[in-house]
Structure 1
Amino acid sequence: MADNKDKKVLNVPALRFPEFTEEWKRIKVSDLLDFYSTNSLSWEQLEYESNEPYNLHYGLIHVGLPTIIDLTKDKLPSIKDGNVPKKYELCKEGDIAFADASEDTNEVAKVVEFYNLDGKKVVCGLHTIHGRDNNKQTAKGFLGYCFSSTVFHYQIRRIAQGTKIYSINTRNFSEAFVGLPSKSEQHKIATLLKLIDERISTQNKIIEKLETLIKGIRDYVLNNKLQNTTKKKLGELCTITTGKLDANAMKSEGLYPFFTCAEDVYRIDSFAFDTEALLVSGNGANLGYIHYYKGKFNAYQRTYVLSNFIEDIHYIQIYLEAYLHKRIALEKSTSNTPYIVLATLAEMPIIIPSIKIQKDISNKILILKSKLITEIYIHNCYKDMRQFLLSQMFI
């Protein structure tokens, strides 16, 4: 690809295919798109059935759908009674739909494009803005990525209105611009990004299958293959303590891992532990999530640190991953933030087979977990690539 960052050329992206050299045209979104009325049907008025028309709810844009919708693969809910008032325009291929509201300014105007409707009737629903390029200035697939680009969302963040909930409306699009290259360049950009999205989707399926396989093997072994066992409390098998720090103690360039109650691992400048340990989230949305780490690290004050194991640490982690959430569901304390107390862990019964069986189980699971980590890394690389291209290939 050609890198145009240092060239004194107006109206071209920083990164583009080398065969294209002409400048892009800048156009107001309100001049590019015509807008149509949308319905306000709630989730309760929708269902996943085969009857038409289908309805695009804004919640699906935020969490459930790819940028490019292909109804041969993607699912939309249908309207229960099958009837939509005539004033609602049926979607056409190439139409786009924005989510008009979000608690996160980065998610306002999140967009999908109807790439392949598979002959189905679809209408845009609650908190969506339905747009169409009636002048045929854009290639199929381009608008979905253009309106997902970093430069477009910089504009939306300045325009969005609200305090706790941020929103936009069709009038705001007179203040936002996009860049349009030739249709052949649009097509090539859209094709590249669509291929990356398809690869990300494939990685998601690989990860889901591996997670299901790991869980299935783990549950089968723990429920059917443990013989000559003893039962001990977790507190008898290890030392249980907590970190001492606030979550905001993290330093982005710190030397050591910093474990909080999040799935992500952060960094910090100092360490309080130098050991092999399991780190268990003690509160919040990830209550009971377990990390394994060996070496120097630090921990948040509501993160439990389990160390000095007298049995195989990986077997104990596998056992906790299978059964800790059931125990938490029975014993967790709730307030604004759910949390577990020390006794929830210390008093938890653990079924202990021979050390040979423990290691045999943990070795097999660790091989699959290693494969899973690799696939997640590949997935994240594709996501980073996608985000980089969205930040560099548009104006």
Structure 2
Amino acid sequence: MLTRAGIPLFGLRDLVTNGSIVSWGMWLILQLDHVITKILTDGKYPFFVRSDKVERLNEYDFDTKAILVPGDGRIGEIFHYYNGKFALHQRVYKVDNFNGINELFLLGLFKYSFKEHALRLNAQGTVPSLRLPMFTNWSISVPMITEQERIGVFFQKLDRTISLYDHKLELLKKVKRSMLQAMFI
């Protein structure tokens, strides 16, 4: 294993390909080859598609803990973390089997450093899209698992705080609009 200043580097270069399954290191990236068309507003299971919005279905593909990365559109901006039963769109990558790496730590790395890497490798077409080399050519420094856990929890708390402030900002904007409308009626 490569190291940088004593910190192991996990490279995504060592691929083992089996159909649409690509395993790298200790995780699995999976791209589904089917499209599910029975989207429901009140479906039992989350259906992760290529956007922030999570749809619903009454059937699922997986029952696991995973980071889900849309392969088209706003690459490097949308990441979902889910633990349980869920379904995936054909252009959503699933990263799971977190042996030796904390999933929240890896999610933080995806959110805060993967976009720059992916855009550097993107051959811009009509729609930006991820390809397997964008994962396989991404090397990450990985500290001890206890440090990863602390960093992962920190990122999770930071994301929650940001979400709360975003929600508060939206509420304040609504109050402002209401006050402006009341002033000019």
Q: Normalising by the residue count of structure 1, what TM-score does the alignment of the two structures yield?
A: 0.37
Which secondary structure state, in structure 2, belongs to the residue aligned with residue 252 of structure 1?
A: coil
Using the TM superposition, give the Cα deviation of residue 232 of structure 1 relative to its aligned residue in structure 2, in angstroms: 1.1
- In the alignment, what sits opposite 2:112? 322
Contact kept, 8 Å, 1:277 with 1:293, in 2: the verdict is: yes
Task: Describe the shift of the 1:348–1:299 C-alpha distance in structure 2 as closer, same or farther (beyond 3 A).
Answer: same
Cα separation, 2, equivalents of 1:242 and 1:378: 37
Cα separation, 2, equivalents of 1:307 and 1:269: 22
Deviations 1:74-96 (A, max 9, x none): xxxxxxxxxxxxxxxxxxxxxxx
Contact kept, 8 Å, 1:227 with 1:353, in 2: the verdict is: no
Flag as ranges the 4+ runs of structure 1 deviating above 6 A: 381-387
Which secondary structure state, in structure 1, belongs to the residue aligned with residue 141 of structure 2?
A: strand
Contact kept, 8 Å, 1:243 with 1:298, in 2: the verdict is: no
Cα separation, 1, equivalents of 2:55 and 2:148: 31
Using the TM superposition, give the Cα deviation of residue 245 of structure 1 relative to its aligned residue in structure 2, in angstroms: 4.4
State the aligned residue count.
161
- In the alignment, what sits opposite 1:283? 72
Unaligned runs of 5+ in 2: 13-23, 178-185
Using the TM superposition, give the Cα deviation of residue 236 of structure 1 relative to its aligned residue in structure 2, in angstroms: 0.9
Deviations 1:201-230 (A, max 9, x none): xxxxxxxxxxxxxxxxxxxxxxxxx97411
Task: Describe the shift of the 1:372–1:277 C-alpha distance in structure 2 as closer, same or farther (beyond 3 A).
Answer: same
- In the alignment, what sits opposite 1:298? 87
Give the AA of the match of 1:306: V
- In the alignment, what sits opposite 2:126? 336
Deviations 1:207-265 (A, max 9, x none): xxxxxxxxxxxxxxxxxxx9741111242131110234437542222111111111121
Higher strand share: 2
- In the alignment, what sits opposite 2:32? 243
Cα separation, 2, equivalents of 1:257 and 1:229: 36
- In the alignment, what sits opposite 2:18? none
Cα separation, 2, equivalents of 1:381 and 1:252: 25
Alignment of 1:204-283 (within 5 A): 228-234=6-12, 235-246=24-35, 248-283=37-72
- In the alignment, what sits opposite 1:369? 159
Cα separation, 2, equivalents of 1:381 and 1:251: 29
Cα separation, 1, equivalents of 2:176 and 2:84: 34
- In the alignment, what sits opposite 1:312? 102
Structure with larger RCO (C-alpha < 8 A, sep 6+):
2
Task: Describe the shift of the 1:245–1:374 C-alpha distance in structure 2 as closer, same or farther (beyond 3 A).
Answer: farther
Deviations 1:334-374 (A, max 9, x none): 33222121221133111111111111211222222222333
Give the AA of the match of 1:232: F
Q: Which has the larger radius of gyration?
A: 1
Unaligned runs of 5+ in 1: 1-225, 388-395
Contact kept, 8 Å, 2:105 with 2:155, in 1: the verdict is: no
- In the alignment, what sits opposite 1:352? 142
Cα separation, 2, equivalents of 1:378 and 1:251: 30
Cα separation, 2, equivalents of 1:236 and 1:299: 22
- In the alignment, what sits opposite 1:200? none
Contact kept, 8 Å, 1:333 with 1:340, in 2: the verdict is: no
Cα separation, 2, equivalents of 1:329 and 1:247: 28
Of all paired residues, the percent bearing the same amino acid is 24
Contact kept, 8 Å, 1:257 with 1:267, in 2: the verdict is: yes
What is the RMSD of the two structures over their aligned residues, measured on CA atoms? Answer: 2.7
Which secondary structure state, in structure 2, belongs to the residue aligned with residue 348 of structure 1?
A: coil
Task: Describe the shift of the 1:386–1:280 C-alpha distance in structure 2 as closer, same or farther (beyond 3 A).
Answer: farther
Which secondary structure state, in structure 1, belongs to the residue aligned with residue 47 of structure 2?
A: strand
Alignment of 1:1-395 (within 5 A): 228-234=6-12, 235-246=24-35, 248-284=37-73, 286-288=74-76, 289-310=78-99, 311-378=101-168
Cα separation, 2, equivalents of 1:245 and 1:384: 42
Q: Normalising by the residue count of structure 2, what TM-score does the alignment of the two structures yield?
A: 0.75
- In the alignment, what sits opposite 2:181? none
